[in-house]
């Protein structure tokens, strides 16, 4: 999406003595994301920021990173910036290889806020019973397990280092300890068939996780898997196969009592992922750690620039040259939180983004969001987009919202692009 945005992109650096804090200046974040950029082995399809290390080198790198991340948590927490956090998500990488350090981070965050949902990602091979119990005692409420598939050949084809048996054991342990348990599953893998994908789903359903996410494989440029495909050494199923898998998942999971609440997400009653919903509904969120992303809406005041807290300009910048309204997204570039890439979306772009993201959810675009959108997007353009979505079978009017249809989700690029097109 970023390459289609008409945004102001700036790289900024702050000395460590000038923490970047939004507290009294912006709406406080409702969600907190912490990134752990380490793995024992990097999956062949992965283009996330993560380092595959081992032995003493891994331990030393994780120690240094934990110190830096803890310092960031303390900086924001002591200033009251975490007071209103409702959900926390620790992702990676592989957070579960952080071991006791992960428990320490959880306890640190819990010292500054009391989130109702606290999720940690884990991989089956490093999610030990000892770690699981310690995380539960520290205040983690939800575990998201990277299962991907329960077929041994498919696991090998994408470079996963756990077995199907380890994945099933991890699910059972998480459930037994009392976590709300989520599993990520992938479709469109090399060598995968509808039958093998169906078997993975059926086995998972016997283990009764609370939440399942189903993601089509994306071949990202520069990854080992993409190079293998380019060389003709592997064959990756096409989009039609992925669509068939998504259809199969929708039917099987609905039959097992799962509610589909987002294009890729299924939950038992009361088990929706509140953290991800915050992303999809435009709530401000704070990201800490290398490559962590965050988002907040503006306007900007002269005090923000003078204090050096606005992420485009350091202290003493000319306030009139700063964007005065819209939305800011940022990504942390270093371990210490002193370098960021930022992008500015105009109010119209921010509203188009909200409309597009709302199309990911079964709740769709509520009427109040359409009313707010009319404040910065011409009503004729809004009406045309809605009418096109309906006439194309991508969406339908409900009594209180424009909701995506099954076809709309299968042809998501068309539906999402229709509303993102309102940015211009």
What DSSP string runs through 20-82?
---TTTSPPPSEEEEEE-EESS--TT--SS-EE--HHHHHHHHHHHHHHHHHHHHHHHHTTTT
Q: How far apart are CA 53 and CA 39, in angstroms?
A: 7
How big is the CA angle at 186 (ends 184 and 188), to the nearest 5 degrees?
A: 175
Can you give the pLDDT at residue 26? Answer: 57
Please tell me the CATH code under which domain 28-277 is placed.
3.20.20.70
Can you give the pLDDT at residue 48? Answer: 72
Task: Dihedral sign for Cα 243, 353, 34, 114, please.
Answer: negative
Q: What residue ranges of the chain are covered by domains with CATH 3.20.20.70?
A: 28-277
Cβ burial, residue 266 (10 Å; 0-12/13-18/19+): buried
Can you give the pLDDT at residue 326? Answer: 85
Strands 51-52 and 31-36: unpaired
Can you give the pLDDT at residue 10? Answer: 39
At residue 85, does pLDDT exceed 80?
yes
Asked whether the beta carbons of 140 and 188 are under 8 A apart, the reply is no
Mean pLDDT of 283-306: 75
Write out the two tokens for 160.
């996963």
Q: How many residues does the chain have?
A: 424
Mean pLDDT of 176-203: 98
Mean pLDDT of 98-119: 98
- Position with higher pLDDT, 17 vs 312: 312
CA-nearest of 167, 107, 96 to 131 is: 96
- Position with higher pLDDT, 364 vs 42: 364
Asked whether the beta carbons of 109 and 82 are under 8 A apart, the reply is yes
Write out the two tokens for 112.
């500054």
Can you give the pLDDT at residue 179? Answer: 98
Strands 325-332 and 339-345: antiparallel
Residue 384, H or E segment: helix 379-391
Strand pairing partners for 382? none
């Amino acid at each position: 999406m970023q390459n289609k945005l008409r945004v102001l992109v700036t790289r900024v650096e702050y000395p460590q003595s000038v923490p970047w804090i939004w507290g009294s200046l912006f709406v406080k974040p409702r969600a907190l994301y912490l990134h752990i950029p380490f793995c024992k082995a990097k999956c062949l399809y992965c283009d996330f920021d993560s380092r595959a290390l081992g032995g003493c080198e891994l331990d030393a790198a994780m120690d240094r990173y934990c110190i830096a991340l803890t310092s960031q948590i303390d900086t924001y927490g002591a200033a009251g910036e975490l007071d209103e956090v409702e959900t926390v998500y620790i992702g990676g990488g592989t957070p579960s290889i952080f071991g006791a350090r992960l428990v320490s981070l959880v306890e640190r965050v819990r010292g500054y806020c009391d989130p109702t949902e606290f999720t940690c990602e884990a991989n089956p091979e490093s999610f030990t019973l000892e770690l699981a119990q310690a995380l539960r005692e520290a205040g983690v409420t939800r575990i998201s397990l990277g299962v991907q598939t329960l077929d041994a050949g498919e696991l090998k084809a994408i470079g996963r280092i756990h077995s199907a048996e380890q994945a099933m054991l991890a699910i059972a342990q998480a459930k037994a300890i009392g976590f709300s348990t989520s599993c990520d599953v992938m479709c469109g893998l090399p060598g995968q068939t509808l039958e093998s994908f169906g078997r993975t789903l059926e086995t998972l359903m016997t283990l009764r996780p609370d939440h399942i996410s189903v993601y089509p494989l994306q071949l990202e440029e520069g990854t080992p898997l993409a190079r293998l495909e380019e060389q003709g050494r592997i064959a990756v199923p096409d989009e039609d196969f992925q669509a068939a898998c998504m259809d199969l998942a929708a039917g099987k999971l609905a039959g097992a009592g799962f509610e589909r609440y987002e294009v890729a997400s299924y939950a038992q009653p009361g088990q929706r992922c509140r953290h991800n919903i915050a992303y999809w509904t435009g709530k401000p969120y704070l990201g800490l750690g290398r490559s962590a992303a965050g988002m907040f809406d503006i306007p900007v005041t002269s005090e923000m620039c003078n204090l050096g807290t606005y992420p485009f300009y350091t202290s003493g910048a000319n306030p009139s040259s700063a964007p005065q309204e819209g939305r800011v997204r940022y990504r942390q570039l270093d371990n210490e939180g002193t370098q960021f890439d930022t992008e500015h979306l105009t109010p119209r772009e921010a509203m188009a983004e909200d409309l597009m993201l709302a199309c990911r959810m079964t709740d769709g675009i509520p009427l109040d969001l359409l009313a707010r959108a009319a404040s910065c997007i011409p009503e004729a353009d809004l009406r045309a987009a809605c009418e096109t979505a309906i006439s194309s079978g991508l969406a339908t009017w409900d009594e209180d919202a424009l909701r995506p249809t099954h076809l709309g989700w299968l042809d998501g690029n068309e539906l999402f692009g229709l509303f993102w097109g309102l940015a211009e």
